[in-house]
Amino acid sequence: MTFDESLARLVVLADADLARPGWTFRGKELELGYLLYHALEEEQRAVIDAPPAATEAARILTLAQSAFGELRGLLAGLDEGLIDRPPAPGEWSVRETLVHAIEVERSYRASTEYAVQRSASEPVLMPAERRPRPDPQDTAGGVLDIAGRFAARRAETDAALAGLDAGALARPTVWSGVGVDVRHRLHRFASHIAEHSGQCEKAVRSFGAFGGDARAIAMRIGAMRGLHERLSDPARLHALDAALEEKATSSRRARDASE
């Protein structure tokens, strides 16, 4: 069971479910809602325990991974029939929004690499023909497929750019027709994901599909995971995933018992 799959099993909990007894913590039965908050606390502990990022670039990109983690919580368990439904005439569906978000992730990475590697004789603005072409496979399939491919694109970004030094961060580049530096471009990764996560959330809420507190907590869990997952030991991540899966199973048992 993956992190995203476990979140998908937890976000279905209604607020009434969260208020019922149903999860045992250190020998005491507590409201089922604490199951989710305990998962959040475990991610927070991992953030505190993680070694610091080695570079400023890596610290900036950690913010982007946290923004992406919040998006994962929003998308978790979303009805597959909703991702292609426009929330209003002329507005993007969730899938169309994610197409744009992933394309920009790739374009920002290419523009940043170009800014760092270009020679003095090359233009500051990356030529249009060097922009990556859209890959339809990035957003094919269902929500879990798309989240997984976006995660892979984010990993490519971090692998390519997290090691940039202070000199590279000061290199000139162009964003949206404005002269900026590479540092500015790196910060755009997080803010762009946040921008379109908000757009997706508006769509989900317009469908009446957001649910209740469980999804809001899952979004926070995802955000905390993003703050440490590039830094934590793989064994720590595996243990967190296993614990989250156990919580998802426990929540299912508790719901079944109450029905």
Phi/psi at 232 (5° precision):
-75, 150
Strands (E), 172-259: 172-175, 178-181
Contacts of 200 (CB under 8 A, 6+ apart): 71, 74, 75, 94, 97, 98
pLDDT of the residue at 253? 82
Angle of CA points 229, 234, 3, to nearest 5° = 60
Tokens of 87: 């929330």
Q: What is the largest CA-CA distance in the chain?
A: 70
CA distance 68 to 155: 11
pLDDT of the residue at 259? 63
pLDDT of the residue at 116? 97
Number of structural domains the chain divides into: 1
CATH code of the domain in which 152 resides: 1.20.120.450
Cα–Cα separations (whole angstroms), residue 1 to 5, 9, 95, 238, 246: 6, 10, 24, 11, 10
pLDDT of the residue at 128? 92
Query: Residue type for 215, please?
Result: R
Tokens of 115: 């800014």
> Helix, strand, or coil here: 17?
helix
What mean pLDDT is predicted for residues 220-225? 98
Q: Which domain holds residue 177?
A: 3-258
> Helix, strand, or coil here: 181?
strand
Count of beta carbons in the 10 Å neighbourhood of residue 103: 18
**pLDDT single digits (tens) 65-112:** 999 999 999 999 999 999 999 999 999 999 999 999 999 999 999 999
Residue 225 reports pLDDT greater than 90 = yes
